[in-house]
């Protein structure tokens, strides 16, 4: 049987199996393919690196468990870099389903880095309202989030003593997977209050945010697992994202080949029909 005819009749389950193996095997036996941090990733890293030690940073973690593989690695690496700079981190969440997951991740990294809750970091939890919450935070953050994730009065924590609104922060980090997320931060916060903003986003949303990078509305961006892995590489860490990048690369090459083969089949079919 000729190749185009063979491909045309190929059971798609073979493609699933091949994709599965190409993802599984590099996780078991890593190839350690090289990574080159891109300018948006360098921008993200450098924006945090340029913060004076002890700066207060607002970190909005807007995702749920479905986006965890892409956004958890960048959340962890960002928190590690911020804690290393002795930054005071205030975490909020605009995604209802992910607030508990974010709390777990933030507390886990803080415990590893021996950070004190309420002094070095705080999690204000979830607030319903999407854009309305962002606008309200511009007036008063303690007024918008009167209680933290655990129900305690936020004014009772030293980290919140001088927090009024966005002006109290040196940088906003938006880790997001859709709506509400980075786009809403650009539209409602960066555009109005002109606070430096960096973003870590899922790969699906990354292409739609590139215009904000080009205009400087975003100082840097991590796009998907590749962005997270490049960020880990810049930080000389080998975390969850770097660990998955060999599988990611092999799967991409395979899918590109499948697209190429699909076109060959299509071209052959048209040629056959024409003759």
Partner 1 sequence: MSLHPSPDFGVWVAAALTLCVFSFLYRDNPLYKLAEHLFVGVSAGYYIVLNFWTVLVANLWDPLAAAFDGRHGPPFAVSVGDYRVLLLLPALFGVLLFARVVPRFAWLSRWALALIIGVYAGLKTTGFAQSDFVAQIQGSIQPLWTGHWGTTLSAFVFTAGLLSSLLYFFYSREQKGALGAASRLGAFFLMVSFGAGYGYTVMSRISLLIGRFQFLLHDWLGMPVR
Binding site for partner 1 (CB under 8 A): 13, 16, 19-20, 23-24, 27-30, 66, 68-70, 96-97, 99, 125-128, 131-132, 135, 147, 184, 186-188, 190-192, 202-204, 206-207, 211-212, 214-217, 223-226, 240, 243-244, 247-248, 251-252, 255
35 vs 99, beta carbon nearer partner 1: 99
Q: In what order do the strands lie in the sheet with 171-176?
A: 121-126, 88-93, 56-62, 171-176, 197-201, 220-223
115 vs 123, beta carbon nearer partner 1: 123
* Least spacing, CB of residue 8 vs partner 1, in Å: 21
CB 136 within 8 A of CB 111: no
121 vs 126, beta carbon nearer partner 1: 126
48 vs 197, beta carbon nearer partner 1: 197
51 vs 206, beta carbon nearer partner 1: 206
Residues linked to residue 122 through DSSP beta bridges, in sequence order: 90
* Least spacing, CB of residue 17 vs partner 1, in Å: 8
* Least spacing, CB of residue 244 vs partner 1, in Å: 4
Give Cβ neighbours of residue 257 (< 8 Å, ≥ 6 apart).
Answer: none
* Least spacing, CB of residue 96 vs partner 1, in Å: 6
* Least spacing, CB of residue 265 vs partner 1, in Å: 19
Three-state SS string over 129-194 comes to: CCHHHHHHHHHCHHHHCCECCCCCEHHHCHHHCCCCCHHHCCEEEEEECCCCCHHHHHHHHHHHHC
| CA distances from residue 152 to 30, 51, 123, 128, 149 in whole angstroms, order as listed | 45, 29, 11, 18, 8
């Amino acid at each position: 049987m000729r190749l185009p005819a063979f491909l045309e009749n190929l059971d798609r389950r073979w493609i699933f199996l091949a994709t599965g193996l190409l993802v599984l095997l590099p996780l078991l036996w890593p190839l350690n393919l090289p990574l080159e941090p891109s300018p948006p990733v360098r921008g993200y890293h450098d924006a945090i690196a340029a913060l004076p030690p002890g700066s207060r940073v607002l970190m909005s973690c807007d995702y749920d468990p479905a986006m965890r593989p892409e956004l958890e690695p960048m959340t962890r690496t960002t928190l590690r870099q911020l804690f290393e700079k002795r930054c005071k981190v205030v975490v909020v969440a605009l995604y209802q389903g992910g607030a508990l997951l974010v709390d777990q991740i933030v507390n886990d990294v803080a415990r590893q880095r021996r950070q004190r809750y309420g002094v070095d970091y705080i999690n204000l939890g979830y607030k319903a309202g999407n854009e309305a919450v962002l606008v309200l935070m511009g007036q008063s953050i303690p007024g918008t989030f009167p209680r933290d994730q655990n129900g305690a009065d936020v004014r009772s924590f030293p980290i919140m003593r001088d927090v009024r609104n966005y002006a109290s922060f040196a940088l906003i980090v938006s880790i997001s997977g859709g709506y509400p997320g980075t786009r809403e931060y650009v539209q409602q916060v960066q555009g109005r209050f002109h606070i430096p903003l960096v973003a870590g986003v899922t790969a699906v949303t990354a292409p739609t945010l590139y215009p904000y990078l080009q205009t400087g509305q975003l100082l840097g961006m991590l796009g998907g697992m590749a962005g997270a892995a490049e960020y880990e590489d810049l930080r000389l860490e080998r975390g969850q994202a770097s660990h998955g990048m060999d599988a990611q690369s092999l799967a991409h090459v395979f899918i590109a080949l499948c697209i190429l083969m699909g076109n060959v089949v299509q071209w052959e079919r048209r040629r056959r029909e024409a003759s």
